[in-house]
Amino acid sequence: MNATVRHKTVEQVGKSSAPPPAVEQTETEVEGPSPQEELAAYAKLRQQLHATLVDARDAAGGQAVSHAIEQAGTRLRTLGEYSHETINKLTQTLKKDLVSTNEAMRPKLEALAGDAQKLKLVLRERGGPLWHEMLQEGGHIMKVSRDKGGALVAQLAHAVGEWGQVLGDKLDESLVYHTGEVTHGGRFQCTDCPETIELKKPGHLPPCPKCHGSQYRRA
């Protein structure tokens, strides 16, 4: 009787001293920004770009635009509000918006290369919110002298065009926009049908309202 009791006691002790089963650890998924947060981050990135370009207006050229884009991303990172992944993604979006907008406007821009005032009108009509913001950013300069302000816009347009021509060939396939992608706005044509949509302010692209396609090119 005692032997039996002792056997059970040893068995119980053995069970209690056994290591607990291993708990499987799972990696915590890091969620990306919400659509509203993504739009806010993109707005701040564009603001940084505009400020950098205006600061470098005396040396504006294709190389200056490239440097300004990278500098805008660096400045936004130092604020510590957004992840590096989000900033890198939006930096690529900014490049796409700049190049595709320039490609859509290139014929008119080249025809008006010597007329700064008409050039501004084209940029306002076809450049979308990106160029609207750019023109506002340079407003304090335009108040000093209309001719100087016009020259600044022409210089920036030429610099972006020069940079875009170099980068455009490399980004041709990347200039396709997809449903849900953020953009500064403008006109877009569905790649599956002739339908054209227009975003008058920065936002995310919806499915094509006609064929429900998911890919666009800037119109």
Tens of pLDDT, residues 102-132: 877 777 777 766 676 777 777 777 777 777 7
pLDDT of residue 50: 80
> How sure is the predictor about 14, in pLDDT bands with cuts at 50, 70 and 90?
very low
Which residue, among 201, 153, 167, 202, has the nearest Cα to 92 in the 3D structure?
A: 167
Q: How far is 53 from 71, CA to CA, in rounded Å?
A: 10
- Has residue 23 got a pLDDT over 70? no
Token reading at 67: 């440097």
Long-range contacts of 74-79 (CB under 8 A, 24+ apart): 75/48, 76/41, 76/44, 76/45, 76/48, 79/44
More confident residue, 89 or 62: 89
Q: Which residue has the tokens 């335009």?
A: 142
Answer whether residue 210 shows pLDDT above 90: yes
Task: State the pLDDT at residue 8.
Answer: 42
pLDDT at 217: 93
pLDDT digits (tens, 9 = 90+) for 41-87: 999 998 888 877 766 655 567 778 888 889 999 999 998 899 999 99
Query: Coil, helix or strand for 199?
Result: strand
pLDDT score of 66: 84
Asked which of 19-23, 107-111, 174-178, 204-208 is least confident by mean pLDDT, the reply is 19-23
Q: CA-CA distance, 95 to 4, in Å (whole number)?
A: 80
The confidence score (pLDDT) of residue 131 equals 77
In this prediction, residue 136 carries a pLDDT of 67
Spacing of C-alpha 100 from chain mean position? 13
Instruction: Specify the amino acid at residue 55.
Output: D
Which region holds residue 10: left if phi is over 0, alpha if psi is between -120 and 50, else beta?
alpha
What is the Cα–Cα distance from 42 to 106, expressed in whole angstroms?
24
Average pLDDT, the chain: 75
Could you give the C-alpha distances from 197 to 96, 105, 187, 216, in angstroms and in order?
18, 17, 6, 9
